[in-house]
């Protein structure tokens, strides 16, 4: 049963299981959990905010990224100041995000307040965030094991309508916080953190419902410029990493979508797709691909969201970019995250690596819970890469791909 949160810490007893290469990044699961009453007070249930963040990976409880304080990670004030100045004059880009609370579609009748986005971007030196709606949310849920799974098929028109509401909420956030919209490669190249901007994205092309028409409509009406083909349900475009394969990779319709994206000027994102899907997408595509949020594994497990070196090389072979995400269960702090970025760079080269924070989209805690921590990450990267390579990883590589894909 859920544990109510009333600001107090809680001790739990249960059966602890170690998980290996879980798709959501969990290391442990506590089964048959029961609250142990404290002898010093009347029995109470609850977790402090700090305790919840610390225990989330153990208990498989989802925690909003905004509930965490940005980590310090031992970066000196001087290095942080230097890194902040470095970021301020460059087109820094988060290649995958749900920041600002745009996914809170089913809370408070669809009118849940937004969380700050523009100000953390300015303070952290982030020029552009690729802000993604999610159209398949009505059909999936988090299981007791902490996995996100589809549990039903959508009704006809359901996901198209949900995506329309998602785009409307995203644009309401843009207006609410005075953000600019990126529509062209030139817009992206000129972006700086003092006037932060959004590149409109969609995670999962489920809202197309087998028809290219809604893609054209989203491009025109919602300024869609970045489309991820699949998410957490096997859809009409192809197979996903977290479910058994159905199509053998990319479908014929998935190939049509890639071609239409390239004709319109929409970046194609193959995150969540199986290696077979990515391999076929690379054969179909005439422009570079993006894989917007993952990390490297040399010991792949069934249903993992992480990718192998061979998987990464397929994307890099198109001239594309693999963006590293920061779940704390994989990367407990920004130093570890920068090491993960370096490991991917060792495989594909620093010209093919980026950052995809999945801000406010992770099931558990994040090593990068707030954009104000971006200078700390930049400081760590500057200790591992040249300034030019660091600039490329934190935006330049995505910019290169975008300038090849977007209209000028």
CA angle 344, 318, 313 (to 5 degrees): 35
62 band by pLDDT with thresholds 50, 70 and 90:
very low
Strand partners, 141: 149
Q: What domain count does the chain have?
A: 2
Check whether residue 243 and residue 360 sit in a common domain.
Answer: yes
**Chain segment 303-353, per-residue pLDDT in tens:** 899 999 999 999 999 999 999 999 999 999 999 999 999 999 999 999 999
Give the containing element (helix H, strand E) for 33.
strand 28-36
Residues in contact with 204: Cβ distance below 8 Å, sequence separation at least 6, in sequence order = 134, 135, 136, 228, 229, 230, 231, 232, 233, 235, 272
Mean pLDDT of 181-192: 98
Check whether residue 249 and residue 299 sit in a common domain.
Answer: yes
The DSSP string of 299-340 is S--TT-SSB-HHHHHHHHHTT-EEEEP-BTTT-SSHHHHHHH
Average pLDDT over all residues of the chain: 87
Boundary residue ending a domain (44, 59, 74): 59
Check whether residue 114 and residue 37 sit in a common domain.
Answer: no
Which domain, by its residues, includes 164? 65-405
Residue 84 lies in a domain: yes
Check whether residue 69 and residue 32 sit in a common domain.
Answer: no
The number of residues in the chain equals: 408
**Chain segment 77-90, per-residue pLDDT in tens:** 999 999 999 999 99
> Poorest-confidence range of 68-82, 142-156, 224-238, 280-294?
68-82
| Other beta carbons within 10 Å of 151 | 9
> CA–CA distance from 361 to each of 64, 111, 139, 195, 366 (Å)?
8, 18, 16, 24, 10
Residues in contact with 111: Cβ distance below 8 Å, sequence separation at least 6, in sequence order = none
SS3 assignment, position 37: coil
**Residue 360 near residue 103, CB atoms below 8 Å:** yes
15 band by pLDDT with thresholds 50, 70 and 90:
low
Residues in contact with 30: Cβ distance below 8 Å, sequence separation at least 6, in sequence order = 12, 14, 15, 16, 17, 58, 59, 60
SS3 assignment, position 16: strand
**Chain segment 244-301, per-residue pLDDT in tens:** 999 999 999 999 999 999 999 999 999 999 999 999 999 999 999 999 999 999 888 7
| Other beta carbons within 10 Å of 246 | 12
Check whether residue 371 and residue 280 sit in a common domain.
Answer: yes
The DSSP string of 165-233 is HHHHHHHHHHHHTT-EE--SHHHHHH--TTS-EEEEEEE-SGGGTT-SHHHHHHHHHS-EEEEES--SS
- Tell me the backbone φ, ψ of residue 348, rounded to 5 degrees: -115, -10
Residue 282 lies in a domain: yes
Check whether residue 82 and residue 53 sit in a common domain.
Answer: no
Check whether residue 160 and residue 297 sit in a common domain.
Answer: yes
**Residue 171 near residue 165, CB atoms below 8 Å:** no
Residue 5 lies in a domain: no
pLDDT at 145: 80
Residue 247 lies in a domain: yes
146 band by pLDDT with thresholds 50, 70 and 90:
confident
SS3 assignment, position 127: coil
Check whether residue 45 and residue 125 sit in a common domain.
Answer: no
Q: CB-hemisphere CA count at 13 Å for 101?
A: 18
Check whether residue 109 and residue 42 sit in a common domain.
Answer: no
Check whether residue 128 and residue 228 sit in a common domain.
Answer: yes
**Residue 76 near residue 384, CB atoms below 8 Å:** no
Indicate whether 58 pLDDT > 50: no
| Other beta carbons within 10 Å of 7 | 10
Indicate whether 42 pLDDT > 50: no
106 band by pLDDT with thresholds 50, 70 and 90:
confident
Indicate whether 392 pLDDT > 80: yes
Residue 6 lies in a domain: no
CATH for 296: 3.20.20.140
Residues in contact with 221: Cβ distance below 8 Å, sequence separation at least 6, in sequence order = 167
> What is the spatial distance between Cα 352 and Cα 397, in angstroms, rounded to a whole number?
6
The DSSP string of 92-125 is -EEEEE-GGGTT-TTSGGGTPPPPP-HHHHHHHT
Check whether residue 114 and residue 144 sit in a common domain.
Answer: yes
CA 2 to chain centre: 26
**Residue 124 near residue 374, CB atoms below 8 Å:** yes
Strand partners, 142: 148
Residue 2 lies in a domain: no
Instruction: Please tell me whether the overall predicted TM-score, pTM, comes out greater than 0.75 for this model.
Output: yes
Residue 158 lies in a domain: yes
Residue 3 lies in a domain: no
Check whether residue 236 and residue 106 sit in a common domain.
Answer: yes
């Amino acid at each position: 049963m859920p544990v109510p949160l009333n600001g107090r810490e809680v001790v739990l007893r249960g059966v602890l299981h170690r998980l290996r290469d879980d798709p959501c990044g969990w290391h442990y699961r506590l089964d048959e959990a029961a609250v142990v009453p404290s002898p010093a007070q009347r029995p109470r249930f609850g977790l402090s905010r700090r305790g919840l963040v610390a225990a989330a990976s153990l208990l498989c409880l989802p925690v909003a990224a905004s509930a965490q304080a940005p980590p310090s990670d031992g970066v000196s004030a001087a290095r942080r100041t230097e890194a902040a100045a470095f970021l301020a004059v460059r087109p820094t880009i988060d290649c995958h995000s749900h920041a600002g609370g745009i996914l809170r579609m089913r809370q408070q009748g669809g009118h849940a307040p937004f969380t700050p986005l523009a100000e953390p971007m300015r303070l952290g030196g982030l020029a552009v965030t690729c802000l993604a709606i999610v159209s398949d949310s009505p059909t999936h849920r988090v299981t007791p094991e902490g996995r996100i799974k589809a549990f039903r098929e959508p009704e006809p028109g359901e996901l198209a309508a949900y995506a329309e509401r998602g785009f409307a909420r995203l644009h309401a956030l843009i207006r609410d916080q005075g953000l600019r919209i990126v529509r062209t490669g030139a817009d992206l190249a000129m972006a700086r953190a003092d006037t932060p901007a959004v590149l409109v994205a969609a995670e999962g092309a489920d809202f197309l419902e087998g028809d290219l028409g809604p893609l054209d409509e989203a491009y025109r009406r919602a300024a869609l410029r970045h489309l991820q083909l699949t998410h957490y349900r096997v859809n009409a475009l192809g197979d996903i990493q977290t479910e058994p394969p159905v199509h053998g990779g990319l479908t014929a319709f998935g190939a049509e979508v890639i071609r239409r994206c390239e004709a319109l000027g929409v970046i194609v994102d193959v995150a969540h797709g199986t290696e077979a899907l990515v391999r076929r997408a690379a054969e179909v595509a005439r422009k570079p691909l993006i894989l917007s949020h993952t990390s490297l594994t040399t010991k792949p497990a069934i249903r993992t969201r992480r990718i192998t070196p061979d998987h990464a090389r397929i994307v890099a072979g198109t001239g594309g970019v693999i963006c590293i995400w920061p779940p704390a269960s994989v990367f407990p702090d920004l130093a570890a995250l920068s090491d993960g970025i370096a490991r991917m760079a060792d495989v594909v080269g620093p010209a093919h690596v980026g950052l995809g924070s999945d801000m406010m989209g992770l099931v558990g805690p994040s090593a990068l819970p707030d954009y104000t921590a971006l200078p700390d990450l930049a400081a760590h990267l500057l200790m591992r890469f040249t300034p030019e390579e660091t600039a490329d990883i934190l935006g330049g590589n995505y910019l290169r791909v975008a300038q090849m894909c977007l209209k000028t």
